[in-house]
Structure 1
């Protein structure tokens, strides 16, 4: 057992760059066996180990189980972290499922310890039978290849590096090991209750399958998940290569891809690309379901510029001419709904990313510059104070060089400004709310520099 445990860890490079390891220990046979194996091999691995136990307070015996784990670790000189969380009360007040609540508080607990004491990785004791159950559970929930790949030896969850070094063992082997080394683990009575989906699969479905179809069903499913995981990884790499070829812009809250190139990609890879983008903006794939993928595909099929949809996690997707844009809805920048007054010869902040500066100069000191972010106006034609505001329905003015009025909306469409950005384009207006500059696209013809101009106002739009 010890030899196989060590080989699995080394084969999968689970302890690469790991000097300190936090081990989640419930007191059951799986986690107790894992803790004992790491304890016996800690010198071989050259790592410092610690154990963490969260008492969910679900059962009367949970406090005694926490005491048992604490004594076990203390007797071996292993550093121990313990916390109690009233999960029944949390479930009641937050109206969430028991499984979701347990996962949330558990990972918050582990994350706090790892961040405070600088542990490199977290070890969880999922084994081969858990793997088979997970695959079936994901299949019944309608998962794709990612879900059918099951539990991976190493994953990242919200920047936590998590390893699963027990995946090479069956439950039967773990129980035999516990008996062999006299570990005397505690057994969770709730595992026998068929109120949770996983327990139904474990206690009802697998016994039937193993009785009537294949006695090695769990091993076969776990082995199949490894094959699927390898193929899933291959397709993921193909999707990443395609994504990089169609990428136009990428940051933490926005991704823009070439819409025309994207439409020529096979649907299988398109769906992967949606997930890649969602993960980049949201930092995880939580709450992204197949229904969302179908909504995106309907948007793509409609192919109308300016159209968009909202999906999970406040993410919006819009078609903008030859671009497909994914963005967090909270990236719109103008912080204030109120007008912002421009002070002469000062720089005025519009929002976190942009500002407008002003300078008054004599005409003799002025020279034209080919830069749309710098505009010049006849100072004497302006009615002060000038202000910066958002656009309003029906806004219009006479753009430089034109004779008639044109709507701001139409100018932004002509300039191919994405729909989601149009609301944050700043307008500079005078004291009577006449538009002098739609920054940085057009200035008003009414305030242009002429031969009679003697004093000029320079406005500069600056981006961080």
Structure 2
């Protein structure tokens, strides 16, 4: 039974505790409607408070308004209030020089985090608890499923990736102080559709999902069916299993990275991180690369770090030469000098 399978995932990965506040991304599609129904059922035994959030992207005006009205009505029938946001994602995409799809994702997560922050602030005010205690009581639930996992792994393989990329989508990740959780990541799309039918949920259907407009859509609609037809009928399950194996290995490597990061660390602030060059140069490449990624993430650069830049930084850390600097995106720098490796941003700090 699907709900029992979700409970197993929740317990195994410690996704949801008793009396927590769950911000739910609710598009009105099969995945999010399934998760909404499951969470509402779980809320009775776990004493949860559910806060649905819907984003009207404005990309499909007629359908978008229909979806918003549908979601708000369904939430009203279940006795919860849906918080809806309207965003002109096409204008956002042009302004930020990204695709409409990327702008849509940014708009969604901005809305999720804004809602989560409002809830945590309210918890602090009402209970007098600390900010960290309040943040821990709020989770953000999104409806990625097992098919999404398979498609993500294959998408990353096609682009070129390492073990972290092959690990696919995680069950939980910390971002902006909150845990983003995926309770139905072990559930297939077929199981979700069957559940929606059995529970008479009547989700809305996004017509663009059946059109090969984006790379991910083509992977789902064309490539995976071809691989299943010509090579392995269980291709989705194989890709999900691959992600699980890679995730275990990646988790171990990152645990070692944490230890070595601490061993090499000399000084850390929100603006600057200084590490011992001798210790870093003695690390295995796999650990050193991750230490670099972790250090930059700690001071604000948590994406757009290319393998080319990592290799350039790796090279100057290893070589005992004159002071060297490698430039990273958005003004971030890595400088090696006087036996130290310094991570910083030129806009906030000048290395002497």
One fold, TM greater than 0.5? yes
Aligned-pair CA distance for 1:84: 1.3
Q: Give the match for residue 6 of structure 1.
A: 7
Aligned-pair CA distance for 1:158: 2.3
Cα separation, 2, equivalents of 1:95 and 1:271: 28
Between 1:222-231 and 1:112-121, the stretch displaced more is: 112-121
Q: Give the match for residue 306 of structure 1.
A: 323
Q: Give the match for residue 129 of structure 2.
A: none
Higher relative contact order (CA 8 A, sep 6+): 2
SS for the counterpart of 1:331 is coil
Larger radius of gyration, structure 1 or 2?
Answer: 1
Kept in 1: contact 2:75–2:81 (CA 8 A): yes
Aligned-pair CA distance for 1:17: 6.6
Is 2:156 aligned against 1:138?
yes
Cα separation, 2, equivalents of 1:193 and 1:160: 34
Between 1:141-150 and 1:208-217, the stretch displaced more is: 141-150
Aligned-pair CA distance for 1:18: 5.6
Cα separation, 1, equivalents of 2:240 and 2:278: 40
Residue by residue over 1:38-90, the C-alpha shift from the partner in whole angstroms, topping out at 9 and shown as x without a partner, is 11121112211121100111113111011111111101101211111121232
Kept in 2: contact 1:303–1:319 (CA 8 A): no
Q: Give the match for residue 76 of structure 2.
A: 74
Cα separation, 1, equivalents of 2:15 and 2:74: 25
Q: Give the match for residue 91 of structure 2.
A: 89
Is 2:332 aligned against 1:330?
no
Cα separation, 1, equivalents of 2:303 and 2:239: 25
SS for the counterpart of 1:272 is helix
Residue by residue over 1:271-294, the C-alpha shift from the partner in whole angstroms, topping out at 9 and shown as x without a partner, is 111111111111x52111212112
Q: Which of 94, 98, 110 is the equivalent residue of 2:100?
A: 98
Taking structure 1 as the reference length, what is the TM-score of the superposition?
0.69
Aligned-pair CA distance for 1:305: 2.9
Aligned positions of 1:16-165 closer than 5 A: 16=17, 19-59=20-60, 60-118=62-120, 120-165=138-183
- Long gaps (5+) in structure 1: 334-419, 422-464
Cα separation, 2, equivalents of 1:115 and 1:263: 40
SS for the counterpart of 1:256 is strand
Cα separation, 1, equivalents of 2:324 and 2:173: 36
Give the number of the structure whose residues are more often helix, by fraction: 2
Aligned positions of 1:408-427 closer than 5 A: 420-421=351-352
Between 1:87-96 and 1:141-150, the stretch displaced more is: 87-96
- Long gaps (5+) in structure 2: 121-136
Q: Which of 225, 229, 239 is the equivalent residue of 1:207?
A: 225
Cα separation, 1, equivalents of 2:298 and 2:262: 13
Give the number of the structure whose residues are more often strand, by fraction: 1
Kept in 2: contact 1:129–1:218 (CA 8 A): yes
SS for the counterpart of 2:173 is strand
SS for the counterpart of 1:73 is helix
Q: Give the match for residue 232 of structure 1.
A: 250
SS for the counterpart of 1:215 is coil
Q: Which of 294, 305, 328 is the equivalent residue of 2:311?
A: 294
Residue by residue over 1:165-219, the C-alpha shift from the partner in whole angstroms, topping out at 9 and shown as x without a partner, is 0011100010011111111111111112222111011011100011111111111
Kept in 1: contact 2:19–2:46 (CA 8 A): no
Cα separation, 2, equivalents of 1:191 and 1:314: 38
Q: Give the match for residue 201 of structure 2.
A: 183
Residue by residue over 1:9-29, the C-alpha shift from the partner in whole angstroms, topping out at 9 and shown as x without a partner, is 112110137621111111110
Kept in 2: contact 1:18–1:121 (CA 8 A): no
Q: Give the match for residue 216 of structure 1.
A: 234
Aligned-pair CA distance for 1:252: 1.3
SS for the counterpart of 1:61 is helix
Kept in 2: contact 1:18–1:120 (CA 8 A): no
